[in-house]
Structure 1
């Protein structure tokens, strides 16, 4: 839970930096070539880091089955801390991209390691996934909030270095942790006759176990998680920047919302000229609501067929994509209502597809299965950031939300198909 919170703290603090980078940099220097800094180019930049976050999940999943979860999670925490230190000393966007690469590689091993640990070590999987997800959502919500608050007082590079400290402390704690990683394997009904805990031993076995996974219904589950990742990344990457275009969330100076006398009393009168972006706090609140979504989704996973949950959850996300912009234009109250439901619904579906993977795959290759899962969620899903950046640069927000609705419709249709089968 601690590591999961850290992973998503960093993942969702990055969009808070995007408007800052748009203001701070004009070009990306690549030797003799210079690229203008736009939503499209920044979308590609963050896609590199987010893409590695997903692509590394597959080799990470193989390693989980071979060496266990604890060591990988510890390395993940240390690597993420190093990446944000590197971000803090970056002179330009090329170095920022390198920091995102280090973060993506380090964070990529977490989900196969953490989820394999729960699926093989906890008998009440749904509840385990729910509490694990709640920790992730605390990081998802508090990470952007902490970043936005720190940016009021410090330059963005300093903020990045400060954010590295929690992961360093978590890594130090992780080195002392000890537990039985396979406590629930004998109690679980994993189906099939695959190995209980040995993982894959060779490239030939990797191909054989992969083929075994994708010749079954796991291929359809993989389609669901790809659509989930594209929707998730597409809607969240440019959300803070998009909200600045809504009059209600136009940036204002600190002195316009806080009495100058109070700033002087606190000895921080220099902060008065800094800009507050209300959209950042709405964004953080939207993500914090995901705690409720994770809890509800996890509990429902233990009570209803997971396929039914996938069909209903993604169907609701399709509707919310259609309603978001009309609600934003209708005023604060409709936007808050739709934002609340969207924040919860984004994360209701996660325990469902996590548990679906556990039901559709054998315990012996659970790490490999979750490696493929998060290759789909965060690897293929990272393209959602590029899609969002390009669409916002060359089309408009309604087009983006229509595309996001299509992703959700496909996932819901697959859920219906699996349910009827």
Structure 2
């Protein structure tokens, strides 16, 4: 990589890691908010679903904003907005305040993916390596965000923790506006000569949308929507669920003196959750390798079948003891993130090349926007039914997604 590539890749790696650090710190903070505000899982699930929903819904207009204002401006604005929203979160006086702060975070974070992917595509000569490092950084945030939040909560109140988490994003935003790089260095002649289809009006937007949504792409859209429901539904409440399973399996483990202030705040389940997300890095690698060996839509059928089996077997495995809980968590983390490269490859295969940005905008809307409803659904089911029913609902999401994936395979 040359200096320009390294500058861009370093910038987007920081941005991608930050987005997912904040995204996955929220479930850890939820375990504190449930006690702090004496609310229900159903209410908190709805509150969190607002922020996660805007994270997905905003991807579509975010893609259009990138074309108008440029990726550097959008990524820096994203970072600054996320930092300021977490600063506002630290001052939230109630559940309503948390809802407002998380909504602000969702709006700010929503523009990152279309902006980051555009910057790599147009500015990095070694695009393959750029996308690889970008994905790895995202996984570091996915695994590191919960771990960092859990460690900070051992020493500090949650309000101070959220304020501390705000600082690096604001610093990164300032650096992003001052660092030198050419955002179009890799835009080749073929790309510049190709007719561009950037909608400039509602009529143009509607026309390009109709052109994009073939039957095959519609099936892909539905598949990633059900995968998003499973993803968000399982990850949002998993720290709390793992705590219950651990207590049932091994009792109340005391790693610190009962008189220690650390003992009150230490939650072993949060570290199991972080470990599950770390295993997801291996899942990403497996999913990427599968895209090189089989048709990606067939890979989706396989992985959705595995996720269905996990939904049906996770609770019995967890109730069988510590070994079953660890094994179930390992397989869940691996399979959940193996889906991502398979869905991305499938989207690329069934979308129009000159409308690729719009296609990813719609599918990010499906994954993170429609998928955000998974938090509300699981929170409601968890409030009024058993954990077994929760995982049964998750299995139903993957079953439906798998059926549409089979339809996609057989339609060719």
1:332: which partner in 2?
Answer: 322
Shift of 1:206: 0.4
Aligned-pair CA distance for 1:149: 0.9
Worse overlay, 130-139 or 117-126? 117-126
Q: Which aligned pairs between 1:339-418 and structure 2 lie closer than 5 A?
A: 339-418=329-408
Between the aligned partners of 1:132 and 1:249, the Cα distance in structure 2 is 38
d(CA) in 2 for partners of 1:106, 1:161: 17
Report the CA distance between 1:245 and its aligned residue: 1.7
Deviation of 1:216 after TM superposition, in Å, equals 4.1
State the secondary structure of the residue aligned to 1:76. helix
Name the structure 2 match of 1:211: 210
Shift of 1:134: 2.2
* Deviation (angstroms), 1:179: 3.7
2:23 to 11, 34, 45: 11
Match of 2:256 among 258, 263, 272: 258
Check conservation: 1:325, 1:398, Cα contact below 8 A.
yes
Which segment is superposed worse, 111-120 or 367-376?
111-120
User: CA 1:88–1:200 in structure 2 vs 1: closer, same or farther (change >3 Å)?
Assistant: same
* Alignment counterpart, residue 145 of structure 2, candidates 143, 163, 175: 143
Q: 1:310 to 1:406 in 2, by over 3 A?
A: same
Superposed CA offset, 1:46-100 (max 9, x none):
0111111111111112222333322211111110000111111122222111110
Superposed CA RMSD: 2.5
**1:116 Cα deviation (Å)?**
3.9
Structure 1 or 2: larger helix share?
Answer: 2
Q: CA deviation at 1:144?
A: 0.6
1:274 Cα shift?
Answer: 2.2
The residue number in structure 2 matching 1:40 is 42
Give the CA deviation at 1:333: 1.4
Q: Where does residue 195 of structure 1 map in the other structure?
A: 195
Question: Structure 1 stretch 292-301 or stretch 160-169: which is displaced more?
Answer: 292-301
| Selected match of 1:21 from 33, 41, 55 | 33
Could you state the TM-score of these two structures normalised by the residue count of structure 2? 0.89
Query: Corresponding residue for 1:295?
Result: 285
When residues 312 and 186 of structure 1 are mapped into structure 2, their CA distance, relative to the original with a 3 A threshold, is farther
- Give the Cα–Cα distance (whole angstroms) in 2 for the partners of residues 202 and 67 of structure 1: 16
Structure 1 partner of 2:102: 100
Q: Cα 1:251–1:54, aligned 2, differ >3 Å: closer, same or farther?
A: farther
Task: Verify: 1:222 aligned to 2:221, yes or no.
Answer: yes
Q: Which residue of 2 aligns with 1:160?
A: 162
Q: Are the aligned partners of 1:243 and 1:249 in contact in 2 as well (CA < 8 Å)?
A: no
Provide the C-alpha distance between the structure 1 equivalents of 2:185 and 2:401, rounded to a whole number of angstroms. Answer: 31
Q: C-alpha displacement at 1:386, in angstroms? A: 0.4
Aligned to 2:112: 110
| Deviations 1:254-274 (CA, angstroms, capped at 9, x unpaired) | xx31368xxxxxxxx852452
Q: Return 230-239 or 56-65, whichever deviates more.
A: 56-65
- CA offsets 1:177-231 (integer angstroms, 9 cap, x no match): 524447366678xxxx9834x5211111100001111134211111011011100
8 Å Cα contact 2:308/2:399 also seen in 1: yes
Structure 1 counterpart of 2:240 = 241
- Aligned residues between the structures: 396
Contact 2:53 2:106 in 1 (8 A): yes
Gaps of 5+ in 2: 1-12
Match of 1:280 among 270, 274, 285: 270
TM-score by length of 1: 0.87
**Contact between 2:120 and 2:127, CA under 8 Å: does it hold in 1?**
yes
Q: Hey, what's the Cα distance between the residues in 1 that align with 2:143 and 2:47?
A: 23
User: Given that residues 123 and 187 in structure 1 are in contact (C-alpha distance below 8 angstroms), is that contact kept between their aligned partners in structure 2?
Assistant: no
Residues 64 and 112, structure 1, Cα contact 8 Å, conserved in 2: yes
Cα distance change, pair 272–219 in 1 and its aligned pair in 2 (3 A): closer
Structure 1 CA distance, aligned partners of 2:46 and 2:198? 35
Q: Report what 1:183 is aligned to.
A: 186
Supply the distance in 1 between the matched residues of 2:165 and 2:68 (Cα, whole angstroms). 32
Is contact 1:133–1:291 with CA below 8 Å preserved after alignment? no
